[in-house]
Amino acid sequence: MSAGLVILVVIAIATAGFFIGRSRSLSAVNGNIRQLHSLPGYYGQTVFLAAAVPALLVAFGWLLLQPILVESQITNMIAPSDIAEGSSRGLVMADVRRIATGLDVAIATGALTEDQLGALSADQSDVRALLGSVGVALASEVKESVLVASKTYREMTATLRSAMAIIVILLSLGGAVFSLSRIKPDFRARNVSETAVKALLILSSTVAILTTIGIIASLLFETAHFFRLYPAKDFLFSLTWNPQFTGGSDLGILPLLWGTLYVSFVALVFAVPIGLLVAIYLSEYATRKVRSIVKPAIEILAGIPTIVYGLFALITVGPLLRDYFAQPLGLGTSSSSVMTAGIVMGIMLIPFVSSLSDDVINAVPQAMRDGSYGLGATQSETVKQVILPAALPGIVGAVLLAASRAIGETMIVVMGAGAAAKLDLNPFEAMTTITVKIVSQLTGDTEFASPETLVAFALGLSLFVVTLGLNVLALYIVRKYREQYE
């Protein structure tokens, strides 16, 4: 019985329970609704919730835990000698899963019967060809131990699946019967069902917390793993980044941090003045008509995915900067550079800075402007000497948020900044950032447990800490600023 079917059955039981519960409550008072504590629908709801919620929770928990359980059992069945040169336990396990699926398919299509499967042995017959004939291609010949593991895997999965189906459906039925038995005219069905619904609401609002916990836990856990293989001191203070496949890598974060900060700096130098001036113009000068055209146009920029900016950097801005600035000035020949990534990221940040500053500038009370105009100040004097100083904390907050965005941005730098980790001042030189290296270390072919891969988690943790710090600071400043005028 597949998991989807089990869930459907549970929902069917719960739905049936709803109607039975509803009619049962009605028959308990001979159709005189006024004698019921709650509306009949609520009696139905209590049955529905009792039948569905615990059963589904168990089912999802089971689905998450079952693979972990089975995997740990099967892994022990594969001896280290069965793992081929250049392969890993993970790859063998992937084979096991694939063979198991193949065997299922073979039985489903009739190419194999259960009895034949029981007798199947890798030494005697060509399992690869057999599975190939049902459309499951394998990379290599199947070893006997792997085949046995696959068969066990298949059996365990099937047994656990059936067990789950039985337990979940029984739980659902049990819940339905229990809550049906509680239906009496003075049963407070609405209160019970509302309490249950409220519990679900609370459960949903914890998802955000769980996500944060998940992020922190996974980063900390793997980072600790990394620091056992590679000294933390070298990671934090080494000036070279030079991963080697064969081991003996230098994995210093400083060149990456430098690249990250340099690109972000260029982006902010570009985005902050433009974004701020756009916000000032739109909120202080523009006529309604201009605003109604320009504002949405700039918001479009905000809605464009970063991959588009990345491509723009790669195919347009990069070559343009190389051909018209870097090469004539003799500053470099690379189309991916700090400048390329910085300018494109700056474009991405313009709407971010301008819409945040717009909010902040609009929060400055009109009375301030009136006061200034009443004294004979021009608009620009009012903006520069009254509005901006008044809005300064909010603008600082906006810039910090933009900086945090810039530091965490990935696609633009992956496609625009380059991959060479160096400490250089020339902005037309290709440099690399923390996010670029997270991508390249985690999408590479190196073994997961090697420091070259695990360093990505340490980089991720650094990134998380820096951006979180900036955000908390920025949100605090902005909130303080708002309180001032409320």
Partner 1 sequence: MTDATNNGAPKKALKTSLIAVDERTKRRNAAEARFRAYGVVAIVIAILALIGLVGSILNNGSSAFRQTFITMDVYLDPAKLDKDGSGNLEKIAKVSTFGYAPLIAKSFEKKFEDPNVGVEGLSAKKAAKMISKEGPAEMRRFVLANPEMIGETVSFKFLASGRIDGYFKGRVTMESAKLDKNVSTEQLMLADQLKAEGSLQTSFNMGFLTRADGSENRPEAAGLGVAILGSFYMMIVVLCLTLPIGVAASIYLEEFAPKNWITDIVEVNISNLAAVPSIVFGILGLSIFINFMGLPQSAPIVGGLVLTLMTLPTIIIATRASLKAVPPSIRDAALGVGASKMQAVFHHVLPLAAPGILTGTIIGLAQALGETAPLLLIGMVAFVREFPAAPPEGFFDPAAALPVQVYNWTQRADPAFVERASGAIIVLLVFLLAMNAIAIVLRRRFERRW
Partner 2 sequence: MYDAPNLGATVEQKDIKISAKKVQVYYGETHAIKDVDIEVQDKTVTAFIGPSGCGKSTFLRCLNRMNDTIDICRVEGDILLDGEDIYDKRVDPVQLRAKVGMVFQKPNPFPKSIYDNVAYGPRIHGLAKNKAELDEIVEKALRRGAIWNEVKDRLDAPGTGLSGGQQQRLCIARAVATEPEVLLMDEPCSALDPIATAQVEELIDELRSRYSVVIVTHSMQQAARVSQKTAFFHLGHLVEYDDTANIFTNPKDERTESYITGRIG
Question: In the complex with partner 2, which residue's Cβ is closer, 155 or 370?
Answer: 370
For residues 112 and 364, which CB has a smaller minimum distance to partner 2 in the complex? 364
Can residue 370 be called a binding residue for partner 2 (CB under 8 A)?
yes
DSSP structural state of residue 142: P
We find the least distance from the C-beta atom of residue 390 to partner 2, in angstroms, to be 5
Tokens, residue 467 = 């951006």
486 binds partner 2 (CB under 8 A): no
Q: Is 311 in the site for partner 2 (CB under 8 A)?
A: no
Does residue 389 bind partner 2 (CB under 8 A)? yes
Answer yes or no whether residue 368 interacts with partner 2 by CB under 8 A: yes
| Smallest separation, CB 474 to partner 2 (Å) | 20
- Pick the closer one to partner 1 by CB: 249 or 260: 260
Name the minimum Å distance from CB 131 to partner 1. Answer: 16
SS percent in the chain: helix, strand, coil, step 5: 75, 0, 25
Q: Give the one entry of partner 2, partner 1, none that residue 411 binds, where binding means its C-beta sits below a cut-off of 5 to 8 angstroms depending on kind.
A: partner 1
Cα dist from 142 to 113, 158, 229, 290, 451, whole Å: 19, 22, 34, 70, 32
Query: Could you give the CA distance from residue 347 to residue 268 in angstroms, rounded to a whole number?
Result: 10
- The answer to whether residue 285 forms part of the interface with partner 2 (CB under 8 A) is no
Q: What is the DSSP letter of 85?
A: T
| Spatial CA neighbour of 417 closest among 256, 294, 222, 200 | 256
Instruction: Decide: residue 252, CB within 10 A, 0-12 exposed, 13-18 middle, 19+ buried.
Output: buried
From the list partner 2, partner 1, none, partner contacted by residue 96 (C-beta under 5 to 8 A by kind) = none
Asked if 390 touches partner 2 (CB under 8 A), the answer is yes
Is 376 an interacting residue with respect to partner 2 (CB under 8 A)? yes
Q: Nearest approach, Cβ of 37 to partner 2 (angstroms)?
A: 54
Query: Residue 483, interface with partner 2 (CB under 8 A)?
Result: no
Distances in whole angstroms, Cα of residue 222 to Cα of each of 78, 229, 446, 453? 26, 11, 16, 10
Q: Does 144 bind partner 2 (CB under 8 A)?
A: no
Beta carbons of 136 and 101 less than 8 angstroms apart: yes
Residue spans of beta strands (DSSP E) within 193-337: 241-242, 250-251
- Using alpha carbons, select from 199, 193, 194, 169 the residue that is nearest to residue 21: 193
Contact 112, 152 (CB under 8 A): no
- Nearest distance from residue 451's CB to partner 1, in Å? 16
Q: Output the smallest distance, CB 466 to partner 2, in A.
A: 31
Residue 139's binding partner out of partner 1, partner 2, none, with CB under 5 to 8 Å set by partner kind: none
Chosen from partner 1, partner 2, none, partner binding at 390 (C-beta under 5 to 8 Å by type):
partner 2
Which residue in 151, 225, 369, 482 binds partner 2 (CB under 8 A)?
Answer: 369
Nearer to partner 1, 122 or 394 (CB): 394
CB burial of 324-359 (b: ≥16 within 10 Å; e: otherwise) equals eebeeeebbebbbbbbbbbbbbbbbbbbbbbbbbbb
Is residue 290 near partner 2 by the rule CB under 8 A? no
- What amino acid occupies position 156? M
Cβ–Cβ < 8 Å for 193, 179: no
Residue 364 DSSP symbol: S
Q: Which is nearer to partner 1, 122 or 453 (CB)?
A: 453
**Could you tell me which residues come within 8 angstroms of residue 300 by beta carbon, excluding any fewer than 6 positions away?**
none
Minimum distance from residue 472 beta carbon to partner 2 (Å): 25
Scanning 102-110, 119-127, 250-258, 365-373 for contacts with partner 2 by CB under 8 A, the matching segment is: 365-373
Report what 367 binds from partner 2, partner 1, none; CB cut-off 5-8 Å by kind: partner 2
The tokens of 412 are what? Answer: 């633009």
Among 248, 288, 296, 486, binds partner 2 (CB under 8 A): 288
CB 115 within 8 A of CB 183: no
DSSP string, 414-436: HHHT-S-------TTS----HHH
By a kind-dependent CB cut-off of 5 to 8 A, residue 129 interacts, out of partner 2, partner 1, none, with none
Residue pair 193/49 in contact (Cβ under 8 Å)? The answer is yes
212 binds, among partner 1, partner 2, none (CB under 5 to 8 A by kind): partner 1
Could you tell which of partner 1, partner 2, none binds residue 372, using a CB distance below 5 to 8 A set by kind? partner 2
Cβ(118)–Cβ(103) below 8 Å = no
Residue closer to partner 1, measured from CB, 194 or 250 = 194
Minimum CB–partner distance for residue 315 and partner 1 (Å): 6
- Give the shortest CB-472-to-partner 1 separation in angstroms: 7
- From the CB of 376, what's the least distance to partner 2, in Å? 4
Residue from 126, 365, 469, 475 in contact with partner 2 (CB under 8 A): 365
Exactly one of 8, 213, 375, 465 binds partner 2 (CB under 8 A); that residue is: 375
Q: Nearest approach, Cβ of 231 to partner 2 (angstroms)?
A: 51
Task: Single out the residue of 394, 307, 410, 414 nearest to residue 353, CA to CA.
Answer: 394
Q: Closer to partner 2 by CB, 38 or 372: give it.
A: 372
Handedness of CA 196, 199, 205, 209 (dihedral sign): negative
- Chain residues in the site for partner 2 (CB under 8 A): 287-288, 365, 367-378, 381, 385-386, 389-390, 484
